[in-house]
């Protein structure tokens, strides 16, 4: 079981597509979406994350999602765990291992305590039971747990099986600067890319998020590597207004899925309740954003 | 599949006992605990609730807990669902139905939206998929969802399969007064019993909570039925200082399990991390509380 | 300017009475209320605290409240500061000093940072500008600032001008045990008295709160000193059900003022909006509580 | 006393500059800053707002800030009220009226209740006592009060003295679409401009915020009026990466003041504690952002 550090770059966070009327899993759209990710050259994929609505899926659906992705693309995969408790996380990791096998680049486990000793104990228990490499997700909006960067460093300092960190506790720039200075682990930003430029400047290894135009994340990260901050800024600005539009609290998921639908990557933009559907009042503006970005993409290719 | 309203009275919320060193399930203690509940005459039991640390158990452990309880006592059982999403709740309910069968008095489902239509849709979907009667738990501290009593009434007004409500959104007295006036469904208080007297006066059908001396809950509820408020107050006061001591935020679970251990109902008081263990500084005071209540119990029997 | 430590015992937190129709200050009721406090033998009074609705008063009203209290009773006074910023706190303290003079036992300043250095700097700046002794109030529900007991100890360790701490961050028992072990400063519980017994056992110097029957707080604290925990428990139980009823989130203020009105200590129970008025559905139960406690008081005197 | 609706456009939210060592008010920098605002052509200024650190100023300092601004520029002024209670808000408004006189375009009052009747009562009481036009600020992060757009519409529907709304409760696009459809009052976005493009598309009257390069806000709003969404997008993108960098939770104030200092508009970037100072790790990136925007400004003029 590998516990190699995650490769830098862009990890796409995969949406879980549903049919609009029944909310059943739409495997055709899922296949199309991950093929697109592979085609544009992402480093890997994150499946069953928050944006993948994993908390809305039952066990069989999770298995189906994993199977469809594994069968469709050759990319390395990170699989998210939804639970905060040690025993159910282990159960989730085992399912991922069973389906994904050697392709599992890591299992993403949420911070479940602001006490470094307790958090380290949780992560160790998960690793010891499964052998899996662990990507630690610090996302207080979802977990309800706020840990400061110093405590997170203390928790992770001696855990060789931690293969990456996803830093989603604002201000992420400060957290990433601390984590990358103190830990020898790649740290990725998320949150739809709203802070991507600053996170790269702070030392992040790239982006791990579900922005509907991952081409923009790739353009930015590649430009940063090759040309530094100014190049990255130039590459990312054409996407940034959509990034901000997408990353609106409570409705981000519905916006993103509708953007993906407009791109013909999904058949429908449905999100499972209780997540909010797309407000009618945003539809025109969403179209403007998608059109503008698509025009930019057409020109820049 | 029954969808009969819950019987009034005291429903004991069952702790899940663990071995102290390994945190493995301790079925012997579980058996002893539920036998005690049956012996003292509770109306029924709630298993796999928040206080049962259901969020810390994997599927096999949940099944084991249910099996042990079903095999030990004859009481009607409510089984809690931990998830907030419809599909995983249905999966949890099916497990409960498979193990508990006709003894399932209801499945306890958390409020997952403050939008009455969305909440009603969730509950309907769970019921339609399973046929189970549903106890709606309004516990914002755990669910993260705050709904006002009027919206909760609107959500539940036409749902004949709702067999009870557990009201744990303070101020519970106001909520219970509204719910019992507008709905023809029994409403139970929880929260360790801190508001039990006032909740009964507001129209509650009883208590559904895990207080370490359920004898006190029974004494109060029975006295209220037979002698009214003054009798209930007299019956409950000897327990109330321990009720308040137990119901301390973040450490309530550890306090309760240690009280149960002192009563010899559990072998050990261990709680699974990341829940906080019992602070050393409270041990002496916990002993004083338990001694005082036990003396009262010895005299009052 | 004295910076003597606060005397142990019961400090009454004074309500600010209003006329029901206009919400104007009702000085007659204020006078009656503080005379009652003096008559029953409290150690001192806290004026312009959270329960005194200080955040709803303008500068002239605050001055009028202070003047009325100073002119009516001989008790030592703590005056609360509402602001969290250093400069406006200093302005509030100066007003208190101007009106109260030598009778000022301390000014109550809220924790405004979870960083010990920043908090200590704030408290030092207030003291240096005014010379006043400071009572530190740790009340996260009101301040929005959560500090752990260890950080609070670190902040206060070297501040000789801190004359007391009011610990209102649950679990208060754990906080009080830590603070009294590490600091040579009297620590008082608040929160309406819901944890008074346990706070005394943890080392608190007494109660500083606005419970509508401060006789109960006095009976408990005096019994604890003279007879230990068992005596205190016996003395306090007859009040505890009303304590819990009063301390209901969002409506506590309205309940307390109505209880004070029923005791004829206030002419009216009005609270200034946006605080919630007393829900109709609680009126009967409030009456039952007040009657029961008054009967107990009549017997116990 | 005028209660004319606010003019559309960009209202600059004025920082309050301090000397770095003593945190004393730096009136020279304040003068320079508001002169700059006037020179670039903003519609008006908002003084003593959240970003003006009004909660950190005592009464004399607030008066000094207002006097300095009134004496320096001819622009219409909105003056913020910090309190949530009616009586202290009235006191704050009277101070503003006394100093600003006819130049007072409105007083900005925060939403203090999610109950439309209670909120309307608060606003009416403030207006009746002072005659002032009121700008309603919906900023739950600061006020602690969350109101949904429908309730806000209900509260404001019949209040002719409301001259504007500042919508800072995300998702602001949805709120602004609702408010502008239902109310005949100009609605402004804030939050540093992160949603400016989408807020304009949703019907906002412009921006009211403290972004360190208000030239960017002006360029965007003017382009929107003259050329529509596409022009606005083109005009704003060069600023958007700095907008996002600035608008980081907890450190936004320190970042902005340091940006203003780099622009030579302030002598120092000091923020009053307990606000966090600028993290060292962000200094280089801040410089990059400011350089990039200044280059853009030099070219675009």
pLDDT digits (tens, 9 = 90+) for D6-61: 999 999 999 999 998 899 999 999 999 999 999 999 999 999 999 999 999 999 99
Residue D293 φ/ψ region, left for φ over 0, alpha for ψ in the -120 to 50 degree band, beta for the rest? alpha
Residue D194, chain A, CB below 8 Å: the answer is: yes
Q: Which of B233, B249, B284 sits opposite C241 (nearest CB)?
A: B233
**DSSP secondary structure letter of residue C13:** E
Residue C20, pLDDT above cutoff 90? no
Long-range own/partner contacts, residues A68-73 (CB < 8 A, 24 or more apart): A68/A27, A68/A30, A68/A31, A68/A34, A69/A14, A69/A30, A69/A34, A69/A45, A70/A99, A70/A100, A70/A101, A70/A103, A72/A30, A72/A31, A72/A34, A72/A35, A73/A34, A73/A35, A73/A37, A73/A38, A73/A45
Q: How far apart are CA A284 and CA A294, in angstroms?
A: 15
DSSP reduced 3-state for A107: strand
Residue A145, chain D, CB below 8 Å: the answer is: no
Neighbours of chain C (3+ CB pairs under 8 A): B, D
CA-closest candidate to residue D188, choices D176, D178, D197: D176
Residue C47, both tokens:
């004026």
Residue B65, pLDDT above cutoff 70? yes
Residues constituting chain B: 301
Task: Residue B22: count other Cβ atoms within 10 Å of its Cβ.
Answer: 9
The pLDDT score that the predictor gives to residue B300 is: 82
DSSP reduced 3-state for B136: strand
Strands C187-189 and D162-167: unpaired
CA distance A260 to chain D (A): 19
A-chain CB neighbours of B144 within 8 Å are 144
Per residue of chain A (301 residues), what is the pLDDT tens digit?
568 999 999 999 999 999 988 999 999 999 999 999 999 999 999 999 999 999 999 999 999 999 999 999 999 999 999 999 999 999 999 999 999 999 999 999 999 999 999 999 999 999 999 999 999 999 999 999 999 999 999 999 999 999 999 999 999 999 999 999 999 999 999 999 999 999 999 999 999 999 999 999 999 999 999 999 999 999 999 999 999 999 999 999 999 999 999 999 999 999 999 999 999 999 999 999 999 999 999 998 6
The pLDDT score that the predictor gives to residue B301 is: 63
Q: In whole numbers, what is the pLDDT of chain D averaged over residues?
A: 97
CA distance C297 to chain D (A): 37
DSSP reduced 3-state for B25: strand
Task: Residue C127: count other Cβ atoms within 10 Å of its Cβ.
Answer: 22
Residue B158, pLDDT above cutoff 90? yes
The pLDDT score that the predictor gives to residue A2 is: 65
Test B274 with A58 for CB contact under 8 angstroms: no
Residue B211, pLDDT above cutoff 60? yes
Q: Which of B171, B178, B245 sits opposite C248 (nearest CB)?
A: B171
Residue B91, both tokens:
């999966």
- Beta-carbon contacts of residue B185 (< 8 Å; ≥ 6 apart): B5, B156, B162, B163, B164, B165, B179
Residue C279, pLDDT above cutoff 60? yes
- Beta-carbon contacts of residue B227 (< 8 Å; ≥ 6 apart): none
The residues facing D107 across adjacent strands are: D79, D134
B-chain CB neighbours of C233 within 8 Å are 241, 292
Distances (CA, A) of B127 to B100, B161, C25: 17, 7, 55
The pLDDT score that the predictor gives to residue D2 is: 65
Q: HSE (CB half, 13 Å, CA atoms) of A61?
A: 22
Q: Are B277 and C199 in contact (CB under 8 A)?
A: no
pLDDT digits (tens, 9 = 90+) for B229-244: 999 999 999 999 999 9
Residue D126, pLDDT above cutoff 90? yes
Residue D249, both tokens:
């939770």
Q: In whole numbers, what is the pLDDT of chain C averaged over residues?
A: 97
CA-closest candidate to residue A266, choices A252, A256, A276: A256
Q: Are C223 and C238 in contact (CB under 8 A)?
A: no
Strands B77-80 and B206-209: unpaired
B-chain CB neighbours of A272 within 8 Å are 85-87
Question: In sequence order, which ranges of A106-148 are alpha helices (DSSP H)?
Answer: 116-130, 140-143
pLDDT digits (tens, 9 = 90+) for D92-115: 999 999 999 999 999 999 999 999
Q: In whole numbers, what is the pLDDT of chain B averaged over residues?
A: 97
How many contacts (CB atoms, under 8 Å) link C and D?
70
Contacting C residues, span 237-276, partner chain D, CB-CB under 8 Å: 272-274
Residue B212, pLDDT above cutoff 80? yes
The pLDDT score that the predictor gives to residue C1 is: 52
Residue A133, chain D, CB below 8 Å: the answer is: no
Distances (CA, A) of C37 to A128, C31, C46: 62, 10, 11
CA distance C243 to chain B (A): 10
Residue B249 φ/ψ region, left for φ over 0, alpha for ψ in the -120 to 50 degree band, beta for the rest? beta
Residue B56, chain A, CB below 8 Å: the answer is: yes
The pLDDT score that the predictor gives to residue A290 is: 98
Q: Are D245 and A237 in contact (CB under 8 A)?
A: no
Residue C122, chain D, CB below 8 Å: the answer is: yes
- Beta-carbon contacts of residue A199 (< 8 Å; ≥ 6 apart): A167, A172, A173, A176, A189, A207
Burial of C39 (0-12, 13-18, 19+ CB in 10 A): exposed
Whose structure tokens read 């303290």?
Answer: C93
pLDDT band at D1 (very low <50, low <70, confident <90, very high): low
Residue C86, chain D, CB below 8 Å: the answer is: yes
- Beta-carbon contacts of residue D141 (< 8 Å; ≥ 6 apart): D168
Q: Which of B240, B251, B288 sits opposite C237 (nearest CB)?
A: B240
CA distance B58 to chain C (A): 30
Residue C78, pLDDT above cutoff 60? yes
Residue B151, both tokens:
């919206």
pLDDT digits (tens, 9 = 90+) for C184-229: 999 999 999 999 999 999 999 999 999 999 999 999 999 999 999 9
pLDDT band at B246 (very low <50, low <70, confident <90, very high): very high
The pLDDT score that the predictor gives to residue C202 is: 98
pLDDT digits (tens, 9 = 90+) for C62-77: 999 999 999 999 999 9
Rg of chain C's alpha carbons, rounded to an integer?
A: 18
Residue D68, pLDDT above cutoff 70? yes
Residue D297, chain C, CB below 8 Å: the answer is: no
The pLDDT score that the predictor gives to residue B61 is: 98
Mutant choice from B168, B232, B288 vs C, greatest count of C C-beta within 10 A: B288
The pLDDT score that the predictor gives to residue C301 is: 63
Q: How far apart are CA D174 and CA D185, in angstroms?
A: 16
- Beta-carbon contacts of residue B111 (< 8 Å; ≥ 6 apart): B119, B136, B137, B138, B139, B140, B143, B145, B147, B152
Q: Which of A174, A194, A236 sits opposite D282 (nearest CB)?
A: A174
Test B273 with A61 for CB contact under 8 angstroms: no
How many contacts (CB atoms, under 8 Å) link A and B?
69
Test C248 with B170 for CB contact under 8 angstroms: yes
Query: How much is the average pLDDT of B188-208?
Result: 98
Q: How far apart are CA B12 and CA B77, in angstroms?
A: 10
- Beta-carbon contacts of residue A47 (< 8 Å; ≥ 6 apart): A14, A65, A66, A69, A77, A78, A79, A80
pLDDT band at B1 (very low <50, low <70, confident <90, very high): low
CA-closest candidate to residue A208, choices A165, A169, A249, A151: A165
Query: How much is the average pLDDT of C1-15?
Result: 92
Q: How far apart are CA B63 and CA B68, in angstroms?
A: 9
């Amino acid at each position: 079981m590998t516990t190699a550090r995650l490769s830098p770059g862009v990890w796409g966070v995969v949406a879980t597509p549903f049919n609009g009327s029944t909310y059943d899993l739409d495997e055709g759209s899922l296949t199309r979406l991950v093929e697109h990710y592979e085609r544009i050259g992402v480093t890997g994929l994150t499946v069953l994350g928050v944006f993948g609505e994993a908390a809305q899926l039952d066990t069989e659906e999770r298995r189906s999602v994993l199977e469809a992705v594994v069968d469709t693309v050759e990319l390395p995969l990170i699989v998210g765990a939804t639970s905060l408790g040690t025993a159910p996380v282990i159960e989730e990791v085992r399912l991922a291992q069973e389906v994904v096998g050697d392709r599992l680049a890591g299992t993403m486990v949420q911070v479940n305590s602001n006490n470094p000793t307790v958090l380290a104990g949780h992560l160790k228990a998960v690793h010891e039971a499964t052998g899996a490499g662990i990507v630690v997700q610090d996302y207080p909006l979802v977990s309800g747990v706020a840990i400061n960067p110093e405590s997170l460093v203390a928790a992770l300092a001696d855990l060789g099986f931690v293969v990456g960190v996803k830093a989603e506790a604002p201000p992420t720039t400060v957290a990433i600067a601390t984590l990358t200075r103190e830990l020898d682990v790649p740290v990725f930003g998320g949150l739809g890319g709203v802070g991507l430029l600053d996170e790269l400047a702070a030392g992040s290894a790239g982006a791990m998020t579900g922005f509907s135009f991952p081409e923009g994340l790739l353009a930015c990260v590649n430009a940063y590597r090759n040309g530094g901050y100014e190049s990255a800024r130039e590459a990312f600005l054409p996407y940034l207004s959509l990034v901000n539009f997408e990353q609106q609290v409570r409705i981000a998921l519905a916006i993103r899925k509708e953007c993906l639908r407009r791109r013909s990557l999904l058949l429908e933009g449905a999100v499972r309740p209780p997540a909010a559907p797309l407000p009618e009042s945003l539809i025109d503006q969403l179209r403007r954003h998608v059109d503008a970005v698509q025009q930019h993409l057409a020109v820049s290719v």
